[in-house]
Every structure is written in structure tokens, then in C-alpha cells.
Amino acid sequence: MFATIYFIFCGGLYLSSLPFLLGLAFLKPKYKDSIPNRFFLKNTKFDGYVWIHACSLGEINSLEFLKPYLKDRTIISTITNTGYKRAVELFGDNKNIEVRFLPFEIFLPFLMPKNLKKLIVLEAELWFALFFCAKNVGANTILLNARISSKSFPKYKKILFFYNQVFKYIDIVLCQSSADKSRLEFLGAKNIEIFGNIKALNKFSISKEFDRFDGELIFAASTHRGEEELILKSYIDVFLDSKKHKLCIAPRHPERFDEIWCLLTKYNIKCGRFSEVGLDYSYDVILIDKLGELINIYNVSDVVILGGSFVKVGGHNPLECAFFNVKLISGIYIFNQYALFDLIENYKLVQDFELKSTLESLQSLKNSFIKNQSDKLDRLLAYIGLN
């Protein structure tokens, strides 16, 4: 009964949203591929024994370690353009793997492969129809890397009846932390194990090698509005006259590159844009205004100040920089990344007013590193049946 009502509701929602969807597809370049595929069935081929669904770029990246183990015909679906492009980059050379946008739910009963054996869904992608249709064809269903943040949990509780229905069709839940387990149990999940975050199983490789700076290179990575000025002022107060320190700043969102460049030019410092000067250490501050360079710059950094954590965004993935054994500084707002920080030794959480004094005492900070995860891969492959 619930499934029938749900599909009728989704059908009505779809019909009422058609003009809006068409407008977005034509007017917003970032939707020109996702909307036709998700809502207008531009590509209707879905054939595989395994279906893995991950929301967007970060979740797709977390699947990289699975590449050698995907030997059966596999579908990898995502929702965003960036996630789709990254999935093609990672898995497009494997003829057994189809990369697709996830269709809107009303289409799934008609597109679900009849021979599907396993559905693996990442984190909090709790699409009722996806799990329901997979169980209808006899597939095992797994929620992998599951998490419910403290910030979003109150929203989940408001429609508890809905999540109770979703979890009826999920066989196994592998979650990131004990807090996640408690929240998922409240929502109706069964067969839960605390596994940790699968992102720790990935190795990070550079695509380009830069020269190292003969001193300390400080990299402010994935910053948000308000953080750049805080970091810049702290850096200038401590290192303005130093020849042994340089600063790179990489805003999280590319649409803010020009905004941050305007901020830099207000200060009496020699600054350059990476797209024009590269990593030229004759500049005091370099704006990283090009996508895809974080890992390459982590590789030559000595100190990383990780953004999204001095404002209430919730932090960003610390594993990428800890992999390169940098001195890692973060703000205190890491509520989306607690499980990842638990996998790291030697990081420093500071409030905004403590950043300057922390930079003054850089020599006392130890280099970060990721705790040993070697036993987890075999356990995970056994759980999800890919060993």
C-alpha cells in the first residue's frame, strides 16, 4: 500500500514539475546532461548484476579502491554532473561498467535489471524506489558508508514514518560511527555494523609534480566565505616579513575565484593567480583558481589549513591531506567529518581566534598520518560480496 501511494505521489510531483525541469535543462548548463537523463530517459540502458549508487563527486571518489574488484557487469549511478564526469574518469575504461545518471523514481520499476544480484548505496542516499525495486527482483541491498549528521538528524525525524518504510528494504547497513548507528536505528535500520569510513581505503595519487618550496608552504584548502580573510590576516600578522613561508588559497567553489582575488589585492602583498603563474614561490600568496589541483598541492605542502571548518559548513575530507603527512590545522566545525578525523593521528582543531597563535607555534605541531586500515578491505569485500 505504501509503495502504491508513494509512486502516485511521485508521479504527480513529476507532472507538476515538468515546466520547471525543462527550464533548468535549457537555462542552466550544469543541468543540461543530468535532467534529460534523470527525468526524460535520455539513456534507458540499465543492465548489470551489481548496481552501485553514489550521490556526487565526493562519494564517487570514495569508490576508487573498488576498481580492481568490479568484474561482474556493474552499473554505477550518480546524480550530479561532477559526479558523473568523475565516474567516467575512474571507471570508463572498464567495459563491464556502465556509468549512468540515477533516473527519477517513477521510472525505476521499468529500468531495474531483472538479473540484479546486489544493490550498494552510499551514505544517506535513501531513495525508497531504488531499494524497493531492487528487492522486488531479488537483489541483496546494502547501505554502505552510512551516516546521518547531527545537523540533519532533526529533519530525518520529522518524516520518521517514511524512513521506517525505506529500511524495510535494506538488508545490511555498514555505518561510519556509533553516533550514526544510534541515529540509523532510530530511523528503523536493522543489521547495522560500525565499519568506519571507506574513504580511508583509498590511496591518493598526484597527476602533476610541482617543485617543493625551500621553507614552509601553507595551503588553505577548500575555503568558504569568511575563512579566506581570517586565514590571510593571520598569515600576514605572523609571516609578512618571512622569506621562509608562502601561502596558497584554494576556495571550495570556483565561482568565488574572482571574489578572493579582489580580497588579496587589498593587501600589501605580492600575490598571483595559479592559472597565470603556477606555483611560483616568488609570490607571497597564490590563489589556486583551477580545479583538480588539491592533491598535487597537498603533495608539496608542509601545512594545510582545511576550510569549511571555521564557519558552520561541517568541514571537508581530511584524509586527502593527511595522506601526504602534512601538519593539519582545522576549525572546530567538523560535524560532517568526525568519522574521518577519527582515522587520523596528529591534527589540530582551533577556534578562529586561535589561528594566529597556532601559526606562531607551527614548529610544535606534529605531522599527520592515516591510521592503518589494512584489515578493513578484506572485511568489506566479504560483506558486499566482491571478494
Which tens digits make up the pLDDT trace of 265-317? 999 899 999 999 999 999 999 999 998 899 999 999 999 999 999 999 999 99
Segment holding 77, helix H or strand E: strand 74-78
* Same domain as 234, residue 180: no
How confident is the model at residue 150, as a pLDDT?
A: 85
C-alpha to C-alpha distance for 149 and 159, rounded to whole angstroms? 16
* Same domain as 191, residue 335: no
**pLDDT tens, 77-101?**
999 988 999 999 999 899 999 999 9
How many CA atoms are closer than 13 Å to the CA of 22, on its beta-carbon side? 6
Residue 380 falls within a domain, yes or no?
no
How confident is the model at residue 24, as a pLDDT?
A: 84
How confident is the model at residue 372, as a pLDDT?
A: 80
How confident is the model at residue 293, as a pLDDT?
A: 94
Chosen domain end from 161, 196, 231? 196
How confident is the model at residue 104, as a pLDDT?
A: 95
How confident is the model at residue 30, as a pLDDT?
A: 79
* Same domain as 124, residue 220: no
* Same domain as 125, residue 19: yes
How confident is the model at residue 290, as a pLDDT?
A: 93
How confident is the model at residue 7, as a pLDDT?
A: 93
Task: Write out the DSSP string of 332-373.
Answer: S--TT-HHHHTTEESEEE--GGGHHHHHHTGGGPPPPEEPP-
How confident is the model at residue 387, as a pLDDT?
A: 67
* Same domain as 134, residue 240: no
How many CA atoms are closer than 13 Å to the CA of 123, on its beta-carbon side? 20
* Same domain as 106, residue 23: yes
For the chain, how many structural domains are there in total? 2
* Same domain as 6, residue 53: yes
Residue 202 falls within a domain, yes or no?
no
How confident is the model at residue 202, as a pLDDT?
A: 85
How confident is the model at residue 196, as a pLDDT?
A: 86
* Same domain as 220, residue 146: no
The parts of the chain modelled with pLDDT lower than 50 are none
> Residue 14 sits in which domain range?
2-196
The CATH number that applies at residue 224 is 3.40.50.2000
The CATH number that applies at residue 186 is 3.40.50.11720
